[in-house]
Structure 1
Amino acid sequence: MKNNNQSEFIIGRHPVISALRGKQEINKVFLQTGIRKDEKSVEEIIKLAKKKRLVISTVPKQKLDLLSDNQNHQGVVLSISPYKYATVDELFENAEAKQEAPFFLILDNIEDPHNLGSIIRTADAAGVSGVIIPKHRAVGLTSTVAKTSAGAIERIPVARVTNLMNTINELKDRGVWVFGTDMKGTDYRRWDAKGPVAVIIGNEGKGISPLLKKNVDEMLTIPMVGNLQSLNASVAASLLMYQAFNSRNPL
């Protein structure tokens, strides 16, 4: 969520603590009037804010309701500068720092911020090296995404690129095997994700765009036996990420 000064807001105690521990540029901390400052999470927020020499403002609940668009802020809101995106090079550097083969998630026009936040949260848990999203016709890193990611937005680098096709070609040139998702393809349970890999998750309604489909190295499919033949984007992404995790980290 942005205001006229191009600020955004992080809401909720756990996301706020994660942001304060991270490198995100923070403008101000808002605490609700009357909040118990002896509660462990609130004590931690105040301690971290003071360490960063941030301004802490005590404001009425109505002010926080306004800043958070009436979401569950738990009595605390951070005013931050808009999120800084990583570069594709930095995604590779993140994998190298962890001494792992790159494992990237490419999101083709995901529009729901809750889906993006949930995907980033799972990506953090599953050891993804970085997430790639397009600049246009897709949701970016917002306060809702941050809230839904439960702080993972501070740990998973997200690159925002002008042209997904050009980026996919760059990944291929750098030795990354690119997988897509569709109704027809290799059963995802047979996917061996060892080595440098990237998997594309399509738009919630339209799936992967035709141009991207034509340029993947292999298509994966999630078998379904019910009447509905599609899954929520974040659920599909989670299944694929953990299949990759299983093949990269065998028992």
Structure 2
Amino acid sequence: MQSIVDGPWSIAFLIDNSISAPGYTPPHISRFANDNFGRASNRAAALPYGNQFLATCYGPWTIDYGPPTIFLSLRSMRKLTMDELGRKTIHQFKAADKTPLVLVLDNVRSMHNVGSVFRTADAFLLQGMVLCGYTPTPPHRDIHKTALGATETVDWQYLPTTLDAVQQLQAAGYAVMAVEQAAQSVMLDAFTPPANQPLALVFGNEVSGVDAAVMQLVNGCIEIPQSGMKHSLNISVSAGIVVWDIFVKLKK
């Protein structure tokens, strides 16, 4: 019998084949299910059972039975639909409570990296982003390729220098941390975000990292522990790792 991913079978067809092959005559279960696998009610069926059925039933189903019926549901892994993901509209995103975290991009050159960081900021409902120096800004098709619309949801601004961004954020009450390898850095797994203070993270250029003058202004430095030879991560990867870690810690 083909699995659910191999053909456009209805639930009725799958159950019928699972229980009729060993000789059990299935009841008329087509009235319990249809081809729409998006709804929970259509991913399972209840039907009378007998001992022969319980002894021989097989297929992509889990079994939960109690006289006089048996309840079958799909056991195979299934991706969620867009409706099930509960995606926010732009209006809902804008109105939602934000994670108290701002990302500052210090002369990041790659548009693809910028777009990827926008997408990360959207995923974790961040307060916003500050694009500094020659960091490219939306709208641009190369940013959109990786942002996938996140430039429309995430608040952002441009400032000529990262020094300006750090000073303005500190004046607004933010603790500003660079994400960099430095002598006094705190490893990410040991870092505890401030409980009652918003946080800003500075990510540097793909080659030179965070500017030395900016390093003199920040309140501290976070480093991602690494064990390999390169001791280097793409900025979009670094942003994803650090943001996820801080997001989880803030939720605890």
TM range (shorter): 0.5 to 0.7
| Distance of 1:164 and 1:203 partners within structure 2 | 11
| Distance of 1:148 and 1:157 partners within structure 2 | 17
Shift, 1:100, TM fit? 4.5
Identity of aligned residues (%): 27
Q: SS of the residue aligned with 1:204?
A: coil
Per the alignment, residue 27 of structure 1 pairs with none
1:145 maps to which of 134, 143, 157 = 143
| Distance of 2:214 and 2:117 partners within structure 1 | 20
Per the alignment, residue 161 of structure 2 pairs with 163
Per the alignment, residue 206 of structure 1 pairs with 208
- 1:234 equivalenced with 2:243 (yes/no): no
Q: SS of the residue aligned with 1:192?
A: coil
- More displaced, 174-183 or 191-200? 191-200
Equivalences for 1:70-81 in 2 at 5 Å? Answer: none
| Distance of 1:100 and 1:119 partners within structure 2 | 16
- 1:243 equivalenced with 2:241 (yes/no): no
Per the alignment, residue 189 of structure 2 pairs with 189
Contact preservation (8 Å) 1:176, 1:197: yes
| Distance of 1:101 and 1:176 partners within structure 2 | 13
Per the alignment, residue 178 of structure 1 pairs with 176
Equivalences for 1:1-251 in 2 at 5 Å? Answer: 98-100=96-98, 102-134=100-132, 136-141=133-138, 142-184=140-182, 185-193=185-193, 194=195, 195-250=197-252
Matching residue's letter, 2:187: D
Structure with higher RCO (Cα < 8 A, 6+ apart): 1
| Distance of 2:175 and 2:99 partners within structure 1 | 11
Give the CA RMSD over aligned residues: 1.6
Q: SS of the residue aligned with 1:132?
A: strand
| Distance of 1:133 and 1:174 partners within structure 2 | 17
Matching residue's letter, 1:163: T
| Distance of 2:178 and 2:106 partners within structure 1 | 10
Q: How many residues align?
A: 154
Gaps of 5+ in 1: 1-93
Deviation string 1:30-71 (CA, Å, 9 cap, x unpaired) is xxxxxxxxxxxxxxxxxxxxxxxxxxxxxxxxxxxxxxxxxx
| Distance of 1:218 and 1:236 partners within structure 2 | 17
| Distance of 1:98 and 1:177 partners within structure 2 | 23
- More displaced, 146-155 or 229-238? 146-155
Relative distance call for 1:101 and 1:123 in structure 2 (3 A) is closer
| Distance of 1:129 and 1:118 partners within structure 2 | 16
Contact preservation (8 Å) 1:127, 1:245: no
Per the alignment, residue 81 of structure 2 pairs with none
| Distance of 2:211 and 2:229 partners within structure 1 | 24
Contact preservation (8 Å) 1:108, 1:200: yes
Contact preservation (8 Å) 1:105, 1:198: yes
| Distance of 2:188 and 2:96 partners within structure 1 | 25
Q: SS of the residue aligned with 1:140?
A: coil
Gaps of 5+ in 2: 1-93
Deviation string 1:152-187 (CA, Å, 9 cap, x unpaired) is 111001110122212211211111000012223101
Shift, 1:248, TM fit? 1.2
| Distance of 1:202 and 1:163 partners within structure 2 | 12
